[in-house]
């Protein structure tokens, strides 16, 4: 099975793991029908910390997407607007069940040597 490995800043990873961030925003989506995200927490953690179910994706104008998702955004409106500044289209993964890895996993466990800038495809069991 293929999964999408996403690089996410630790402050947002913490919110995903706590269940307060139910959407992961992106300027583009991975081209995959995968129903699984692997969450790579960027520096200073630098580990794959969780597997998250993808419940669906949303594509809309940034203002429309914000209105649809703001109650579970896990990000301030200001940061959201800064991220999507100049974009005509915004995307979000709707996040479901979270499986936290204890201990967190190395990228090498997935045969990856460098963290992806945005996302990567990986084979999982």
Class of domain 2-123: mainly beta
- Give the separation between CA 25 and CA 92, rounded to whole angstroms: 4
Query: Poorest-confidence range of 49-58, 71-80, 99-108, 113-122?
Result: 113-122
In the prediction, which pLDDT does 125 show?
72
pLDDT bracket for residue 36 (50, 70, 90): very high
- State mean pLDDT over 92-108: 98
Greatest C-alpha distance within the chain: 39
Percentage with pLDDT > 90 across the chain: 89
Q: What is the DSSP string of 51-105?
A: EEEEEEEEEE-HHHHHHHHGGG--S-HHHHHHHHTT-S-EEEEEEEEEEEEEEEE
pLDDT bracket for residue 33 (50, 70, 90): confident
Spatial neighbors of 49 by CB under 8 A, at least 6 apart, are 13, 17, 39, 40, 41, 100, 101, 104, 105
Domain boundaries, the chain: 2-123
């Amino acid at each position: 099975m293929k999964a999408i490995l996403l690089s996410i800043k630790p402050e947002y990873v913490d919110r995903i793991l706590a269940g307060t961030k139910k959407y992961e925003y992106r300027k583009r989506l991975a081209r995959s029908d995968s129903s699984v995200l692997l969450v790579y927490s960027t520096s200073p953690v630098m580990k794959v910390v969780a597997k998250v179910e993808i419940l669906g994706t949303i594509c809309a104008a940034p203002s429309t997407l914000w209105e649809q998702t703001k109650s579970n955004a896990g990000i301030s409106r200001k940061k959201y607007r800064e991220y999507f500044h100049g974009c005509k289209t915004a995307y979000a993964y709707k996040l479901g069940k979270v499986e936290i890895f204890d201990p967190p996993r190395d990228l090498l466990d997935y045969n990856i040597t460098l963290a992806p800038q945005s996302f990567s495809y990986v084979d999982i069991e």
